[in-house]
Structure 1
Amino acid sequence: MAEPLTREQILDTTEQVLRRFGLDKTSVVDVARALGVSHGTLYRHFASKAALKEAVAERWLHEVSTPLGKIAGEEGSAFDKVRSWIERLVHIKQSKAKEDPELFAMYNALAEESVEVITAHIHELIAQLTKIVEEGMKSGEFQKGNAHEQAAAIFYATARFHHPALAKEWASSHIQEEFKQVWSLITSGLVKKS
């Protein structure tokens, strides 16, 4: 008797099929065929093709948020953690775009179709930053204020360096210098003046 099909097996195979056929041409039948099961079997795990695509997008976004969550949970200076968190986010996104631009574009398109998944992802990222900013306010490193609003401002102020829709700009020879300028501005508003 064959082992029962797991969610992870389905998502792994869906990713492989998406790579082969692309986002628009991939069907549930293609995924089922690659797994050697009927498409009805997949519908027991995912209610629709949209739900399957959302699950793939969610897993991909989780690969971004997990290492960032670890930074948020570390001990140390809040300022250093905010800087490390932003730099890691930028590195993850830019590395994915550079290493496999076609796959990055496909995942970006997949994520754009999954509005609720993207919204949850952004909320998760801002919540991680909020935790760090709150720590900085409590320790006296950062100016007092609304930690959530400040975290959201940091996230959106740095969007040019990590938002997939702006990936073409990442190849600019000035991008690192521009990041330094934005970071300097963030620092001047965040850090408590002595």
Structure 2
Amino acid sequence: MPSADPLTPERILEATEDVLRRYGPAKATVVDVARALGVSHGSVYRHFRTKSELREAVTARWLTRTEVALTEIINTSAESAPAKLQHWLAALFEAKRHKAGDDPELFATYIVLIGESTVVEAHIRELVGQLREIVEEGVRSGQFAVDDPAVAAQAVFDATARFHDPAYAAEWQNPSIGAEFIAVSELLLRGLRA
């Protein structure tokens, strides 16, 4: 029975996530998405011209959720730059841990999709850009002493990869990972301080 709700890109992306969770990226098809929505596959193609475009959009949607949460830390926090950086890094780590632990089937699917995707580079640029904003704020306030905030932001991102790069997801459940995260982030903060 067709749905009474209008077919929107957002509804298609939600259904695509469900289909990917159920069938995995190798078996999920646009026909499966259409069937889940109660529409023809042509209706889905009116919003996303190809299966590849649909997969890119669902991957971008997944990555954007993290970006939005982290942007809120930058835009709404009255914390000092060091505290904001610590908060941002912890939020990134927790977001990635939750994605991996709360829905392992979908996380595994996204690891495959990310390998096929061009949106990952934009996601990383966005995250490094957010870090740069925090570092620049710290330099302006005299709390950080770095010559090039862009270089420092990239270094912080690279140094914390173990806590946000999906390649390390298997380590995120280790009992000592929280203490290891704190040790790395505190070391980075000491290195940035004026």
The two structures have a TM-score, normalised by structure 1, of: 0.93
Aligned counterpart in structure 2 of residue 58 of structure 1, from 48, 55, 60: 60
The correspondence for 2:81, drawn from 78, 82, 85, is 78
- 1:72–1:129 contact (8 Å) kept in structure 2: no
Stretch moving more, 142-151 or 178-187: 178-187
* Structure 2: distance between partners of 1:70 and 1:36: 36
Which residue is 2:146 aligned to?
144
Cα 1:102–1:4 change in 2 (3 A) is closer
Report percent identity of matched pairs.
51
Alignment-derived partner of residue 111 in structure 1: 114
* SS of 1:183 mapped into structure 2: helix
1:117 deviation in Å?
Answer: 0.5
Shift of 1:3: 5.5
Q: 1:92 aligns with which of 92, 95, 98?
A: 95
* Residue 62 of structure 2 corresponds to residue 33 of structure 1: no
- 5+ residue gaps, structure 1, are none
4+ residue runs over 4 A deviation: none
Q: Residues 17 and 106 of structure 2 are in contact (CA less than 8 Å); yes or no, is this contact kept in structure 1? A: no
Structure 2 contact 81–138 (Cα < 8 Å) conserved: yes
1:5 maps to amino acid: L
Moved more, 99-108 or 77-86: 99-108
Q: 1:180 aligns with which of 179, 182, 186?
A: 182
CA drift of 1:103 comes to 1.8
2:11 aligned residue: 9
Matched position secondary structure for 2:47: coil
Shift of 1:143: 0.1
**Structure 2: tracts of 5 or more residues without a match:** none
TM-score using structure 2 length: 0.93
Give the number of aligned pairs.
191
CA root-mean-square deviation: 1.6
- 1:44 alignment partner, SS class: helix
